[in-house]
Amino acid sequence: MKPVEIKEFGQLPDGQMVYSYLLKNKHGMMVEFISYGAVMRSCVLPGNQGLDVVLGFDRLEDYLASMNMENPPYFGSIVGPFAGRIQQGVFSLNNKVYQLSQNHGSHHLHGGIDSFSRALWIAKPQTAEQSITLKYVSTVGTDGYPGEITSTLTYSLTDDNELKMNYKAESTEDTIINVTQHHYWNLGGHDQSVENQSIQLNATHFLDKNTDNIPTGNFEQFCEKPFNDLTTGLRSGLDHTFVISDQSEIQASLSHPTNGWKMLVKSNQPAAHLFIGCGLPENLNGKQGVSYHATSGVCFEMQNFPDAPNHEHFPSCVLRKDEVYENNTIFHFVNNDHV
């Protein structure tokens, strides 16, 4: 197997170089990442069609500009230190009240102004397999978070067409953390719509939320048994946190109606946040000259519950200074017509 292919992708305004990293398995599946935002820029499935199933941009400048939009799409990026919304950007920890940056109206969203999605990660290719490890250190007080948070993310591509993500974090002080990935998937290709594709979820409930998309703390019934089908629900505006019923099983899947591809998702996280196009502008210029729209892709954000610091009955999001946070998520691509 050839080593990870490394290329220059562009320069940040401060002159720092951003690199791209290409992983490829023996079947020809290829996944590309860049060090800005630890973004996954492309995912090409095996076969002769060159089917690229994630949304993205061709230039670094477009990624930078997109993060300055009123509603940034976070194409392919790692989201943290805390994914989702925190009401008013306020939480209490160890009898102290913390005020985070308010970057979404009066609320805190996806880690704030200087989030992981906007950071330059330092990458180190791994020699044992097709994998790349990226590291980022967030200094004390960034966006109001306590502690210096050291994060590492390893992307691995197996010969079983599995994309594995292993995220770890440690902090010099007690803090809160909830990291996820913001990849927009489309098994028909990034130039198509996901409207005719189907989702199944290993979930029976989802989080109730208010008009600002903040969880109320209540749970709404989604279905009577896990793996309910969302075939009729793939419309712009899907933006819900589903409570995973069994972490030992496949938590979610995305299926294409005609080409045979299916993506199976497994994670150690308690929730799957599904998102389609909310706030995404029409005719956003993406890679290869494609104009993206509200139903161009669907996000499977495997994570903890949004606003978890403010709801005692939600799974804890506290990272103690002597602990290690870990998020393991696998995207497995299967097709009977391909290896």
SS (H, E, C) the chain: CCCCEEEEEEECCCCCEEEEEEEECCCCCEEEEECECCCEEEEECCCCCCCECECCCCCHHHHHHHCCCCCCCCCCEEECCECCEEHHHEEEECCEEEECCCCECCEEECCCCCCHHHCECEEEEECCCCEEEEEEEECCCHHHCCCCEEEEEEEEECCCCEEEEEEEEEECCCEECECEEECEECCCCCCCCCCCCEEEECEEEEEEECCCCCEEEEEEECCCCCCEECHHHCCCCCEEEEEECCCCCCCEEEECCCCCCEEEEEECCCEEEEECCCCCCCCEECHHHCEECCCCCEEEEEECCCCHHHCCCCCCCEECCCCCEEEEEEEEEECCCCC
pLDDT at 232: 45
Q: What is the pTM of this model?
A: 0.94
- The DSSP bridge partners found for residue 191 are none
Res 234: pLDDT = 53
Cα–Cα distance measured from residue 172 to residue 187, given in angstroms and rounded to the nearest whole number: 41
As given in the structure block, the two tokens for residue 124 are 């180190």
Residue 89 vs residue 195, higher pLDDT? 89
Quick one: pLDDT at residue 323?
97
Q: Verify cis geometry, omega within 30 degrees of 0, for the bond prior to 306.
A: no
Q: Rg of the chain's alpha carbons, rounded to an integer?
A: 19
Give me the chain's average pLDDT, please: 92
User: Does residue 264 contact residue 334 with C-beta atoms inside 8 Å?
Assistant: yes
Pairwise pLDDT comparison (230 vs 140), residue with the higher score: 140
Two structure tokens written together for 183: 């990849």
Q: Which fold has domain 5-334?
A: Beta-galactosidase; Chain A, domain 5 (2.70.98)
86: left (phi > 0), else alpha (psi -120 to 50), else beta?
Answer: beta
Please measure the distance between the N-terminal and C-terminal CA atoms of the chain and give it in whole angstroms. 17
- The lowest-confidence range among 5-14, 123-132, 210-219, 248-257 is 123-132
- Between CA 85 and CA 299 the distance in angstroms is 16
Judge whether 50 and 42 are in contact, CB under 8 Å.
no
Strands 122-126 and 90-93, bridge-based pairing: unpaired
Taking only the tens place, the pLDDT of each residue in 21-52 is: 999 999 999 999 999 999 999 999 998 788 99
Q: Is the pLDDT of residue 158 over 90?
A: yes
Q: What is the pLDDT of residue 233?
A: 47
Tokens of 249: 């099983």
pLDDT tens digits along 251-279: 999 999 999 999 999 999 999 999 987 66
CA proximity to 282, closest of 182, 186, 189, 193: 193
pLDDT tens, residue by residue, 161-190: 999 999 999 999 999 999 999 999 999 999
pLDDT band at 280 (very low <50, low <70, confident <90, very high): confident
Has residue 126 got a pLDDT over 90?
no
Domain range summary for the chain, segments of one domain joined by +: 5-334
| 127: pLDDT strictly greater than 80 | no
Check whether 91 has a pLDDT greater than 50.
yes
Nearest CA to 184 out of 17, 11, 53 is that of 53
Give dist(CA 77, CA 56) in Å, integer. Answer: 10
Among 330, 316, 337, 308, which Cα is nearest to 86's?
308
